A and B are shown apart, each in its own frame.
Chain A
Amino acid sequence: MEVTISTAELLTTDGIPLKQSLRKAERRNKLRAFLLVFPLLLFIFVTFVMPIGDMLLRSVDDSQINSVFPNTFDEYKNWDKGVDELPPEEVYKSLFFELANGDKRQIGKALTRMNYAKSGWKSLIKKTTREIKKIVKKGEEPVSYKDTFIKINKFWGDPTYWYSFNQMVNDRSSIYYWNALDRTFNEDGDVVLQDEKRRMYIKTWLRTFKVSVYVTIFCLILGFPVAHLLANLPLRYSNLLMIFVLLPFWTSLLVRTTAWIVMLQQNGVINGILVWLGVINDDGRIQMVYNEAGTLIAMTQILLPFMILPLYSVMRVIPKSHMRAAQNLGAKPATAFLRVYLPQTIPGISAGGLLVFVLAIGYFITPELVGGKDGKLIGSWIAYHLKTTLNWGLCAALGAILLGIMLIFYWLYNKIVGIDNIKLG
């Protein structure tokens, strides 16, 4: 008998081809899985992707001011700075009417923006608007708008005010990024260094990195032995010790920071003990707080649990037999540690290091309190511009740079260690 291989498709009991049926079931599963994670995706989108997108948009957005003074900016572009010392009459005329007829609040917002480009714009525009409204009310038409402006305030004859328009003429602008790096636009629109006396963002960036790197290293040096001890002690002791690690974690940040001030200040506990012991004399009290040392000490202590916990959870599952086996095979304890134990803790070191570094780079309350003259990190300036100057464009640019740097670190980390090599337990 000959075996005939049926070329007909395999059918399910319903008469539907098996392949199709399987695909359908798979699709249904996929859909179910998607629907299950959909709320989470939506949550992430609303609370994470959108704010970051909004931040990135704000960091380049300059449209508000252009919508308030559209004609003035258009006319401004026609000003040949090489030929005329001051902008042409048309610029003054456009500004005259845009100030006279503009919406008070929109102008208010615009002048907050203008003041970032040059200090003094706020009062100048406000005073001028009051005078212009008087002129309009009287029904007078100025012969020369330029002279009218200069008569109202002599600053209108000062080209430096007009030069600052260069930073605002476009709807999209990179000025905030340049500001965040101590740079600005000059009268020709070229990028130049900020006034020397005001330059401090680059220094602050460098200080922020220095502090973050040091804190991460100190946390690792201090946290590693503690985590090792916790992981290898019998449970009832290690639980007790764990409470000591977690207790400060649950204490208010400000309380811990204040406690460090009490400990470290020149008339504080540590200096007192050292003087009493005769290690230092009364005039030689060590300055340990209100400087960078204070920042490093306080931040290390505060961020230490973020290093210890991931390390601990990784170390706990490393079998003790590994070290014994290595030594059995002839490795010295140091070699066994370096070549057998340490490589297995890398995922914990990575997780802890990344956590501490990310947290440290955005820190600002503690450094401000204990850091003295070096206490302002980049986070301080983000908070300052967010709340005090309302310069949200600059805030967003600082935030975006911070984000960019974190992404670079992430990429580097992935290249060197591999992102799969990260473990929280």
Chain B
Amino acid sequence: MSKFLKAFLFVSLVFAPFTAYAVTVASWGGAYTESQQKAYADTYSDPSSIVFENYNGGLGEVRAQVESGNVTWDLVDVLPSDAITGCDEGLFEDISSEIATLGVPGPDGESIAEDMENNGLEYHSGWDCCVPQIFWTYVVFYDPDAFPGEKPDSMADFFDVEKFPGKRGIHTWSTGIIEKAMIADGVKPNAVPTVLANQTGAIDRAFEVLDKIKDHVVFWSAGSQPLELVKSGEVIMAIAYNGRVGAANLAEGENFEYIWEGQVLDQEYLCLTAGAPNRDAAIDFMMHASTPEAQAEQAKYITYGPMRASGIPIIQNNEPWGPGGVDIMPHMPNTPERLKVSVVSDPQWWSDYGAEIDERYAAWMAN
């Protein structure tokens, strides 16, 4: 027994130095984490001190870690609604003063918050605990070869099965698709969050539009599925994460077209877990990962756009920025022209109504 104990102590002493100082970042894995590794960790002063771990989103694990007092993730890469809830519940630590003092300002001295506001975002409580990462988006895409004649170019076309017969690929939860249905119903993209927040019956309207494609839908639940669905001809167009479509076009030689109108932009944050074992090192890395330069750097590896407005000019002025000498701006979701026809998803509203609408969406799906 004591031999075993000694061995155990020895092993833990040997391994302790390696585990103690590494900042653990929980993120979504795949090409996305790879791009974070290259853009944030590899450009950091001490790349080996950053370790990425995969998770499937949501705050379940974070809450379990914080409640049990056994925190292993220093930083977590989350959606904005989770940033808000996590910060409100104290699962993430309020570091607003650190962000204000240590955050790297933009070229004109704008703070991180001002820089985000320049990108059309509004303050929410997630900003107190988290630093911005990238914009990603729910975008409709198709294979132009499947449309010898007229090609679809609007949300109205996506929901019009008579004009463009064939199946559509949509996801099994409600964020993103509700907004798209509103646009198809004639709401101006930029006005969608306001209409959703203030008009009673707005959701009913969205579901009426959804009814039109009900019998022409293939539902997907994993990010790789819509690409496969369109490629195999199972559907004629589909909603997907734009980064996946970008990767298919840039790295796999596909020639997919996007319908940028009605894309639904969502945010992505890096948050500090309450009680993080390597708090100070983690904050230092957060500040590095939220510089305009680091955010622009990420666009080299995945077609997600910087959430800090000052990141965009860095890309624009240095094209070709993409892999293998291609211009990356044509694949970026948040160019000024595209923002005019886009919805910026309202995380606070989704945090309020998401669960109820998801249940309703599931009831609609199975009906």
Contacts and interface: CB of A to CB of B under 8 A. Distances in A.
B175 to A, nearest CB: 10
B59 A198 contact: no
Nearest to B357: A119
A369 B221 contact: yes
A109 B351 contact: no
Q: Which one of A104, A203, A290 has the highest number of Cβ atoms from chain B below 10 Å of its Cβ?
A: A290
A133 interface: no
A373 B234 contact: no
Contacts of B172: 368, 375-376
Interface string B325-357: 000000000000000000000001101111110
B352 A120 contact: yes
Interface in A82-110: 104-105, 107-109
Interface in B208-236: 217-219, 221-222, 225, 228, 232-234
A267 interface: yes
Interface stretch (B84-92, B187-195, B307-315): B84-92
A183 interface: no
A130 to B, nearest CB: 10
B360 interface: yes
A107 to B, nearest CB: 8
A22 to B, nearest CB: 32
Contacts of A290: 218-219
B348 A123 contact: yes
Nearest to B88: A108
A267 B235 CA distance: 10
Contacts of B98: none
B69 to A, nearest CB: 15
B60 to A, nearest CB: 4
B363 A199 contact: yes
Contacts of B9: none
A123 B352 contact: yes
B232 A387 contact: no
Interface string B113-154: 000000000000100000000000000000000000000000
B89 A112 contact: yes
Interface residues on A, range: 35 or more
B352 A119 contact: yes
Contacts of A203: 363, 366
Nearest to B363: A200
A391 interface: yes
B233 to A, nearest CB: 5
Given A123-B348, A375-B221, A376-B362, A268 B232 contact: yes
B275 interface: no
Nearest to B87: A108
B59 A200 contact: no
A121 B349 CA distance: 11
Interface string A199-235: 1100110010000000000000000000000000000
B280 interface: no
Nearest to A197: B360
Contacts of B364: 197
Interface in B39-87: 56-61, 63, 85, 87
B356 A198 contact: yes
Contacts of A419: none
A126 B60 contact: no
Given A267-B232, A373-B219, A390 B352 contact: no
Interface in A12-37: none
Q: Which one of A111, A207, A266, A387 has the highest number of Cβ atoms from chain B below 10 Å of its Cβ?
A: A387
Contacts of B362: 200, 204, 376
A386 interface: yes
Given A105-B90, A375-B172, A390 B85 contact: yes
Given A126-B125, A368-B172, A386-B60, A198 B85 contact: no
A226 B365 CA distance: 38
B363 A197 contact: yes
B89 A105 contact: yes
A115 B338 CA distance: 34
A116 interface: yes
A387 B218 contact: no
B351 A122 contact: yes
Contacts of A112: 85, 88-89
A384 interface: yes
Nearest to B79: A388
Nearest to A116: B355
B355 A115 contact: yes
A374 B217 CA distance: 12
Contacts of A189: none
Contacts of A389: 354-355
A373 B360 contact: no
A266 B90 CA distance: 48
Contacts of A368: 172, 221
B56 A387 contact: yes
21 contacts: A104-B88, A107-B88, A108-B88, A119-B353, A123-B348, A126-B88, A126-B125, A197-B207, A203-B363, A203-B366, A207-B366, A372-B218, A373-B217, A373-B366, A374-B366, A376-B362, A384-B358, A386-B60, A388-B57, A389-B355, A390-B63
Given A387-B58, A390-B85, 19 more contacts: A104-B88, A104-B90, A107-B88, A108-B89, A119-B355, A119-B356, A126-B125, A203-B366, A204-B366, A265-B232, A265-B234, A267-B232, A267-B233, A267-B234, A368-B172, A369-B222, A386-B58, A387-B56, A389-B355
